[in-house]
């Protein structure tokens, strides 16, 4: 049995231990995790969360909103502090422009593709002490999901135009067809009127930017090494390009609404559109029984919307924020989250262990519509430097924008 003096000694020792724990935890939040949880939570104030802000492109909104809650429940911590994520959606071009002009100071940016990262890397070099992003650094700038650009067409019309196989002349044959003053009459179908092709505004939407890049590469006959001189000095290309773009009466501001309009109104509005593969997958079910079969065609060389998540190298991103941001990116790269991206939203995972053709996947369900899981034989065009990409956008802006 304890004597009163022994009880007082135990009480003093316990009180001193609690005080030491409290002081040490305040000095070093990382040590909170080593203490017995009920005692810790009873005597210590909850640590302030590390808040990371993420600017992201709209295409992945539904996926991010679905998985973000599980990340915050996962008890991810840096130095004992929980991580809290604030998401803000924005157009891909708006993302890098807002960083350049200082209207936003995010910790992480995720435009739709590396095209925007390349431009930001070049343009931030002259505005900040060092570029705020680095495409070559695969720790701070990582692709999380991917989807290629495709051309979606009403199959009956594509069969007439291409015979089911557009091959390497897809863009040149499409340009000739949309410019043909006889329209579909030249192909034996005067009742179809003119051939109507659409893509989004490249100044507002990444899929439109990808489209004009592929058109340019295809006409010039390259898959790499595109230069500003190719765009500014080749008058034949310029005429071909501007004639092609002149046939599009309105450029949608976002890829989803463009695809929705094609499905809702059929070939009276669009015979063919250039969109992301994931967007086509999203609308595949909605198109059934409307205006015939929708079919997907892969360009002769493609460019990937690779959805990079890049932690900014900027003075407002503290080491703790950078570490927390990488924990979030690790979570998005995890297999369960990648499975959701594939099965529910049609994105291609970057995790190679996630099988694209697993039962129930969109690539298994929509094979008859032309979706191809294996694109290993399809060339990918090189992402040019930011200066070249900006030249292409400026050329479009000066001569086409309306």
Residue 393, φ and ψ in degrees, nearest 5: -65, -40
Tell me, yes or no, whether 242 and 377 share the same domain.
yes
Q: 224 and 176 in one domain?
A: yes
My answer on whether 37 and 131 are in the same domain is no
Supply the pLDDT for residue 165: 75
Q: According to the model, what pLDDT value does residue 10 have?
A: 59
Q: Are residues 193 and 208 in the same domain?
A: yes
Share of the chain above pLDDT 70, in %: 88
Q: Please check whether residues 104 and 17 belong to one and the same domain.
A: no
pLDDT at 167: 76
Q: For residues 121 and 161, state if they share a domain.
A: no
> Could you give the 3-state DSSP secondary structure of residue 181?
coil
- Report DSSP letters for 230-272, one per residue: HHHT-HHHHHHHHHHHHT-S---SSHHHHHHHHHHHGGGT-SE
Q: And the tokens for 47? A: 């640590």
| pLDDT 10s digits, 362-398 | 999 999 999 999 999 999 999 999 999 999 999 999 9
Handedness of CA 279, 280, 281, 282 (dihedral sign): positive
Q: Are 25 and 111 contained in the same domain?
A: no
pLDDT score at 169: 84
Is there a domain that residue 356 lies in?
no
129 belongs to a structural domain:
yes
Does some domain include residue 315? yes
CB neighbour class for 47 (10 Å; exposed up to 12, middle 13-18, buried from 19): middle
Q: Say if 2 falls within a structural domain.
A: no
227 assigned to some structural domain: yes
Q: Is 159 a domain residue?
A: yes
pLDDT recorded at residue 7: 58
The number of distinct structural domains making up the chain is: 3
Tracing tokens 């390009």 back to the chain, one arrives at 241
Residues 140 and 153 in one domain: no
> What is the domain-level CATH number for residue 395?
3.40.190.10
246 shares its domain with 192: yes
Residues spanned by the domain of 270: 147-305+365-399
Which of the residues in the chain have pLDDT under 70? 1-45, 289
Residue 35: predicted pLDDT: 47
Contact yes or no for 376/302 (Cβ under 8 A): no
The answer to whether residue 86 is domain-embedded is: yes
171 and 154 together in one domain: yes
Q: CB within 8 A of 309, min separation 6: which ones?
A: 54, 108, 109, 110, 141, 142, 143, 144, 329, 332
Buried b (16+ CB within 10 A) or exposed e, 306-335: bbbbbbbbbeebeeebbbbbbbbbebbbee
Q: In Å, how far are 170, 190, 287 from 294, measured between CA atoms? A: 17, 21, 7
Per-residue pLDDT tens over the stretch 164-201: 778 788 999 999 999 999 999 999 999 999 999 999 99
pLDDT at 127: 87
C-alpha span between 345 and 85 (Å, rounded)? 21
Same-domain pairing of 291 and 387: yes
Element (H, E) at 70: helix 61-73
253 and 173, same structural domain?
yes
Q: Which residues contact 122 (CB under 8 A, 6 or more apart)?
A: 131, 385, 386, 387, 390
On whether residue 3 sits in a domain, the answer given is no
pLDDT for 283 equals 87
Distance CA 229, CA 392 (A): 10
């Amino acid at each position: 049995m304890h004597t009163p003096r022994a009880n007082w000694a135990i009480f003093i020792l316990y009180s001193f231990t609690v005080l030491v724990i409290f002081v040490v935890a305040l000095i070093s939040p990382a040590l909170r995790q080593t203490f017995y949880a009920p005692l810790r939570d009873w005597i210590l104030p909850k640590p302030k969360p590390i808040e990371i802000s993420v600017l992201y492109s709209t295409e992945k909104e539904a996926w991010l909103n679905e998985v973000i809650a599980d990340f915050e429940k996962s008890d991810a911590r840096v130095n004992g502090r929980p991580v809290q994520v604030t998401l803000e959606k924005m157009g891909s071009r708006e993302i890098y422009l807002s960083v350049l002009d200082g209207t936003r100071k995010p910790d992480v940016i995720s435009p739709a593709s590396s095209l925007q990262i390349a431009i930001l890397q070049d343009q931030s070099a002259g505005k900040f002490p060092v570029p705020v992003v680095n495409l070559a650094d695969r720790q701070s700038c990582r692709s999380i999901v991917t989807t290629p650009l495709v051309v979606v067409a009403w199959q009956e019309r594509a069969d007439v135009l291409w015979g089911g196989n557009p091959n390497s002349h897809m863009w040149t044959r499409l340009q000739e067809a949309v410019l043909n003053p006889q329209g579909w009459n030249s192909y034996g179908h005067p009742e179809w009127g003119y051939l109507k092709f659409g893509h989004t505004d490249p100044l507002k939407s990444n899929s439109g930017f990808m489209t004009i890049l592929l058109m340019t590469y295809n006409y010039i006959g390259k898959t790499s090494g595109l230069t500003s001189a190719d765009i500014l000095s080749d008058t034949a290309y310029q005429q071909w390009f501007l004639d092609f773009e002149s046939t599009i009466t309105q450029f949608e501001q976002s890829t989803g609404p463009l695809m929705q309009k094609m499905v809702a109104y059929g070939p009276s509005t669009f015979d063919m559109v250039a969109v992301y593969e994931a967007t086509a997958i999203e609308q595949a079910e909605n198109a059934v029984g409307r205006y015939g079969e929708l079919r997907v065609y892969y360009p002769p060389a493609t460019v990937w919307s690779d959805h990079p998540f890049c932690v900014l190298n900027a003075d407002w991103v503290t080491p703790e924020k950078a570490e927390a941001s990488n924990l979030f990116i690790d979570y998005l790269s995890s297999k369960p989250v990648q499975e959701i991206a594939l099965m529910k939203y049609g994105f291609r995972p970057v995790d190679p262990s996630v099988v694209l053709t697993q039962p129930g996947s969109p690539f298994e369900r929509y094979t008859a519509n032309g979706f191809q899981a294996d694109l290993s034989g399809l060339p990918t065009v090189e992402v040019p430097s930011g200066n070249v990409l900006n030249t292409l956008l400026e050329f479009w802006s000066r001569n086409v924008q309306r």
